[in-house]
Structure 1
Amino acid sequence: MRINVLQHTPNEGPGAILDWAQIHNHQVYIYHPYRFGYLPTAEKTDMLVILGGPMSPNDDLQWIKQERELIQGLLDRNVPMFGVCYGAQQITKTLGYAVTKSPAKEVGWAPVYRKSMVIPDLPDELLALHWHEEMFEIPYEAQLLFSSKAVKNQGFVLNHRVIGLQFHFEPQADNVREMVVNDFPYIKNSVLGQSATDILKKTVPIENKRVLFKMLDYITEKL
């Protein structure tokens, strides 16, 4: 299977998603549309991963609009998609739903709580890395998957093929360090009240990778 990854900033890569792809012998192609302007075609995409970034789906940029054209083409073909933060927002924006400022800027570690049983054997509570101040609406056709105390709309699942998360399960320890050392000014004014040192001291929960793999398995079942 060819997995096309859309990466939107140098310090937010696919992380543990690459481990999952390697286990299953999938080929991964990473695109940087914000930098080079190239996107894969829908015909050459067996699965799409849309990562986070500092931009907003509401920004008036041609490549952001072109991403949504790709997303729509894949929705029409029922191709698996996994969106993270900005990536999840892009999916909901493509479906016609709003992306707005969230009730609170969340940057750092905080629990998320499972809100749906549609994916079996997910824990009721997980500690996730948050790095956002916007949020998506939950599409009418989708199910709310996760919430946090500060922001209700933290995750959704749609038609057994699409998952969007407002937070991050994909970063491993090296990835977290990369995010913090390059984007530490963004931590300011977070409702979570954590410093860069606080974020770096936290060990990435082992459970996050297991749950990430379970979600990726779920959207690629019976392909």
Structure 2
Amino acid sequence: MLFDPSRQQSRKPAILVVLHQERSTPGRVGQMLEDKGYSLDIRRPALGDPLPDTLANHGGAVIFGGPMSANDPHDYVKTEIDWLKVPLKEDKPFLGICLGAQMLSKHLGGKVHAAHDGQVEIGWYPLHSTEKGRLLMPHWPKMVYHFHREGFELPRSADLLATGDAYPNQAFRYGQNAWGLQFHAELTRAMMQRWVVHGAERFTMPNAQVGSQHLEGRMMFDTPLRAWLSNFLEMVFEGKPQRQKAL
């Protein structure tokens, strides 16, 4: 692609992207942010990358998921949880996805734990928006994709935006600019296929779906989830009110 100086000059500040494995990618969250004019500053603390002391030169941050737990004793897990004081203090847009949302809850005093009945969410499950969620976004996807064995408590003073059946806390906002999602809207098809292959041993866990259901569900439910994600990212990182059509 030829260099376009006008596009370069109009680019927005970089979004800090925190990933947890060598081959992890920001998926279509990264693709959509780049399409909206942001560059990505990708860091992997688990592999030794430092996190910035300030987000003054960033437009916000996203911490993605991973196979580890927010309760793990690894130094980088503790570092990431503690680092969340930076976007909160500076009131910069922050989005936590799955593990990232659990880290945000834990930083704010909430607990992260498995469901008491041992159920997991691995596959596609219903999402129910709350009244506060609908005030922010009139339409939410009815089905969303999950791959987790733990959930988070709703932090004090946070607004619950969406709920689920096995894990009641699915989306929340803390203050004006900190957001947490338990589900995954960022997966490309290639990412989902990789997760289905490498995570197959988990499909026998209580409430988990088999791999074919993951891929069949994508054909049925992914289009509205993708549309919702684009609108959601504009709200999180650009503060745009949402009046989108029904999904």
The TM-score with structure 1 as length reference comes to: 0.91
1:133 aligns with 2:149: yes
Measure how far apart 1:61 and its partner are. Answer: 1.4
Deviation, 1:146, is: 1.3
CA gap of 1:12–1:195, structure 2 versus 1, over 3 A, is farther
- Greater shift after overlay, 112-121 or 135-144? 112-121
Find out whether 1:18 has 2:30 as its counterpart: yes
Q: After alignment, is 87-96 or 111-120 more displaced? A: 111-120
Runs of 4+ aligned structure 1 residues displaced above 6 Å come to none
Whether the 8 Å contact between 2:22 and 2:47 is mirrored in structure 1 is no
Matched, 1:187 2:203: yes
CA shift digits 1:55-111 (9 cap, x unpaired) = 111111111111123211110110101111110000111111111112421111111
Secondary structure class of the residue paired with 1:102: coil
Question: Closer, same or farther in 2 for the Cα pair 1:200/1:170, shift >3 Å?
Answer: same
Equivalent residue number for residue 4 of structure 1: 16
Does 1:50 find its partner at 2:63?
Answer: yes
Which of the pair has more CA radius of gyration?
Answer: 2
C-alpha distance in 1 between matches for 2:179 and 2:232 = 8
- How far apart, CA to CA, are the structure 2 residues paired with 1:142 and 1:51? 20
Q: How far did 1:42 drift?
A: 2.3
Q: Would the aligned equivalents of 1:11 and 1:175 in 2 still touch at CA under 8 Å?
A: no
Correspondence 1:78 to 2:85? no
CA RMSD between the two structures: 1.9
Residue in structure 1 matching 2:231, options 214, 218, 222:
214
Uncovered stretches (5+) of structure 1, i.e. residues with no partner: none
Q: Which has the higher strand share?
A: 1
Indicate conservation of the 8 Å contact 1:135/1:153, yes or no. Answer: yes
Q: Which runs of 5+ in 2 are unaligned?
A: 1-12, 241-247
Alignment partner, residue 106 of structure 1 = 121
> In 1, distance between residues paired with 2:239 and 2:62?
18
List per-residue Cα deviations over 1:156-212 (Å, max 9, x = no partner): 1122312111111111212211211222222221414x2112212332511111211
For residues 237 and 49 of structure 2, the distance between their equivalents in structure 1, rounded to whole angstroms, comes to 28
CA contact (8 A) 1:12 1:175 kept: no
Structure 2: how far apart are the matches of 1:24 and 1:56?
Answer: 31
Alpha-carbon distance in structure 2 between the residues aligned to 1:29 and 1:140? 30
